Structure 1
């Protein structure tokens, strides 16, 4: 029974929370190079947590009932607009919701019967998710395999009379490179199509890197033809999770992102976001983080991030068998292996206490490992490079992950829908992955190697079953 008969004390519950988190990756210190963003400044985290708690029970559903929400959002969105070329914005729960609203606004404004979205293969899957939910077709275009940037001519060739939006990234997550925003936006104008810049990762980072001396090209709403841009504050804004902003150049387009319904006898329904009732906690946390750091704080973090990224790239390139992919303009670094299985390397690093994020091969881009450099990385970059070098050598000695004969073919040909969760869990256990609660962090080289050998559709089917199993009761 999941619900206790009688209520528990706070002390008892917090003790269990600590137990449940026993196998979690650490969120502070910089040894986890994905998912978390750390300033290294405890006082900033404390200020954000206190403001988050203060706004926790305030409901953003009705801004007339809670005017604090309106003022906080004006200040937070205004700060993002000041940094990214102006515009009219909405505070959202994250990059996926910001992207969802940008696609909805473009779809509703265009009014096409068979709308499509033109995106580089390196664009975030949130665009595919938005298209799936909103009934929009995705038209993917390749990237240059030497720079990993989309080519404007490929975008131009993909646009047709049903295109409602073209997308570029600043930067794209996989290799941290900035697409040619000015070129693509110009051709979008010529075609009469809106252009969205996905700056979820870089929107709050690139301006500070530029101010710190990095050669960052124009990418925001100041670029002619850019009609919307998304920017996550829970990434390089260092706010607690649940904080993003989508900006529109035209307030009329922002209104297309809204949803209103009067077709019922209840309270008035007008939503700026996908959610209706939502806590103002993330808004409070974001507001407090921006206020606590200020311009000087973000510039200092930008300088530290720039220095750490340069040191990391230089160090990885010096390790035999490793190479950085592309020329990342931001603080996202991806590296592949020559004669070194990067999935085995990741497991070796995990065993040494460091998490490096595996990325599967796709569209001609090799399998690689991804590192997000944050404000705290500089202090530990030499330790990180030592672990990467040791792990690379250990991976070279171990050799590539060995798969049971016929496993890939078996999985590729299997009707996964015909399996129940218990059977799928047994299949995972047969390759060394224990999905039972409390099993801890498994080695993933074999699993990643299997996934890497499968086509995208089969990968997706396996991942859905994986998620179903780990949440089964």
Structure 2
């Protein structure tokens, strides 16, 4: 059992060996077999470079850029690179954040605080907008107006216009949406927002670094960035398709006046005057240095090649889905996502069968009229393995058809249907986890769990998932100092 605070210090080599042993239980972050969570360009030497750059600046604190101008220089360079890629002009400004969720929370904060006259501000988002907007609304006490998307899975400008009210401070679009990988009609959404004097944020956290390159390769993608009039801010994660290590996103504003409400400053206390451009105060310079090194190493031409490899992989995977009876493409594979739906097999069983063959996908629950789907985030590393995935997908579909759909006990489904979120207790979650085989030894077979979650309404899903995560995030007995 791994202990963080032993009675006596442990030699460094032993510690590293222990950490490597822990990592053996993780999903593979390289090799093009994990279709979520990580982004791999499969470039030799890039990891070593990023790690070395991270080490150079790991002890630098982003709290005070006047004390560490090296970090300020790197942040400004990253913002300039993102602005250049995403249609920014000479007045464009931005901030480097710790991730896409932080960028979105700050975009909502800037919009909310730009209207101090509104006691109950609201934001309008399509139903496919990232869940981080709901998190931002929850944290910032902003009301969330969710607008259904059209049959094409894209935001509906007319419905958005209808949803904008006197208290609306922000309209949101995605480029692309994470779940399905389609780009919202940003010119129309931003025009609707501009007509009503409302800010418009484009969430390009997921795909903002690859879409410009796909357009250069001839993909018929709509305009989506700051070059579109009415777009007031845009976010892009560098730890996604810029292939930087985790912990770096950029939030751009069209001009300084739009960014100003994003800041937090406080001087009414006896300590140092605090001013922050982002949520965190203390920040390590390591991720920022690693991102700067990654961008400089790959370069513009390198990103174009990586986008081309990604596109080739998408074409191969999409072709395989279209050719195999039992599954179908749910959304057009126009960006870097392949989203597939069932055409006769249980998708959750299929995800397990793919995992058994070494392919790790992301099942998505049904939502409203939208069915359950499987999401594949495709990176450049998938290009060499796409053909092998296509063959294994056919085998996995056949195996899933033979296994048949998950059949949960009727009493379990009945009990779940009668549950309210308030009735989800630690004991209930522990009992469910034990009954479904989630004993902490592994999570290789998740079809039964996903089937149960899919049958539950969203509020109950949230309560069950919260309870399960809370169950996992508990230290084992006897792991304190000296085993006490």
TM-score, reference length from structure 2: 0.95
Equivalents in 2 of 1:29, 1:122: separation in Å?
29
- Does residue 335 of the first structure (1) align with residue 340 of the second (2)? yes
Structure 2: gaps (5+ residues): 476-484
- Of 251, 268, 281, the residue aligned with 2:256 is 251
- Does residue 410 of the first structure (1) align with residue 415 of the second (2)? yes
Q: Deviations over 1:260-303 (max 9, x none)?
A: 00011111200011000010111011100000000111011011
Tell me by how many angstroms 1:2 deviates.
Answer: 4.9
8 Å Cα contact 2:175/2:207 also seen in 1? yes
Structure 2 match to 1:45: 47
Equivalents in 2 of 1:124, 1:173: separation in Å?
7
- Does residue 388 of the first structure (1) align with residue 393 of the second (2)? yes
Count of residue pairs the alignment pairs up: 469
- Does residue 110 of the first structure (1) align with residue 115 of the second (2)? yes
- Does residue 13 of the first structure (1) align with residue 15 of the second (2)? yes
Structure 2 match to 1:29: 31
Tell me by how many angstroms 1:400 deviates.
Answer: 0.6
Structure 1 match to 2:63: 61
Report the 3-state secondary structure (helix = DSSP H, G, I; strand = E; otherwise coil) of the residue aligned with 2:53.
helix
Equivalents in 2 of 1:16, 1:198: separation in Å?
39
8 Å Cα contact 1:412/1:458 also seen in 2? no
Equivalents in 2 of 1:461, 1:362: separation in Å?
16
- Of 293, 314, 319, the residue aligned with 2:324 is 319
Tell me by how many angstroms 1:419 deviates.
Answer: 6.0
Report the 3-state secondary structure (helix = DSSP H, G, I; strand = E; otherwise coil) of the residue aligned with 2:363.
strand
Structure 1 match to 2:482: none
Equivalents in 1 of 2:119, 2:332: separation in Å?
40
Structure 2 match to 1:272: 277
Tell me by how many angstroms 1:5 deviates.
Answer: 1.2
Q: Deviations over 1:285-326 (max 9, x none)?
A: 110000000011101101111111112111110010211112
TM-score, reference length from structure 1: 0.97
Structure 2 CA distance for partners of 1:376 and 1:208, relative to 1, 3 Å:
same
Structure 2 CA distance for partners of 1:120 and 1:99, relative to 1, 3 Å:
same
Q: Deviations over 1:118-169 (max 9, x none)?
A: 0011000000000000010100011113x11111111011111111101000
Structure 2 CA distance for partners of 1:139 and 1:357, relative to 1, 3 Å:
same
8 Å Cα contact 1:118/1:158 also seen in 2? yes
Equivalents in 1 of 2:176, 2:375: separation in Å?
14
- Of 128, 131, 153, the residue aligned with 2:134 is 128
Report the 3-state secondary structure (helix = DSSP H, G, I; strand = E; otherwise coil) of the residue aligned with 2:221.
coil
Structure 1 match to 2:148: 142
8 Å Cα contact 1:416/1:465 also seen in 2? no
Q: Deviations over 1:48-67 (max 9, x none)?
A: 11101111110000001000
Equivalents in 1 of 2:420, 2:434: separation in Å?
18
- Give the RMSD, CA atoms, in angstroms: 1.3
Structure 2 match to 1:440: 442
- Does residue 241 of the first structure (1) align with residue 237 of the second (2)? no
8 Å Cα contact 2:421/2:460 also seen in 1? no
Tell me by how many angstroms 1:440 deviates.
Answer: 2.1
Structure 1 match to 2:480: none
Structure 2 match to 1:283: 288
8 Å Cα contact 1:433/1:442 also seen in 2? no
Equivalents in 2 of 1:268, 1:462: separation in Å?
42
- Of 299, 303, 310, the residue aligned with 1:298 is 303
Structure 1: gaps (5+ residues): none
Equivalents in 2 of 1:64, 1:472: separation in Å?
40
Tell me by how many angstroms 1:421 deviates.
Answer: 3.3
Q: Deviations over 1:366-405 (max 9, x none)?
A: 1010101101111000011112111111111111111011
Structure 2 match to 1:205: 210
Structure 2 CA distance for partners of 1:467 and 1:379, relative to 1, 3 Å:
same
Equivalents in 2 of 1:133, 1:51: separation in Å?
34
Structure 2 match to 1:73: 75
8 Å Cα contact 2:424/2:464 also seen in 1? no
Report the 3-state secondary structure (helix = DSSP H, G, I; strand = E; otherwise coil) of the residue aligned with 2:379.
coil
Equivalents in 1 of 2:13, 2:427: separation in Å?
35
